[in-house]
Amino acid sequence: MTPSFHDQVLPRIPAKLGKAYVALATAHGALGSIAELLALYILLAAGTRLLPEKFRITRYKTWMRSALALWWLVLLLGFATYARWYVPKLFR
């Protein structure tokens, strides 16, 4: 997805961020990146001893649920981005 975002969306961000097709793709990319980083942090903080004690998670159910909710939001934004970019009569 990074090459597609870099080629098709990134050059349009400053000028056309108000357009739905750019805004959806930007939100999808940004929140997807945050979800990836959150999942990696949860993995390192709850499953290993690589992080210092103060950064580790002992009660991680809330962290996992918030990561799952974020992934669902990213998935829905992905569907909306696909529909906006490739199904022209749906949102027009």
* Exposure b/e, 60-77, CB count within 10 A at least 16 = b: eeebeeebeebbeebeeb
Confidence of residue 32 (pLDDT cuts 50, 70, 90): very high
Q: Which of 25, 15, 21 is nearest to 92 (CA)?
A: 21
Say if residue 91's pLDDT is above 60.
no
pTM of the model: 0.76
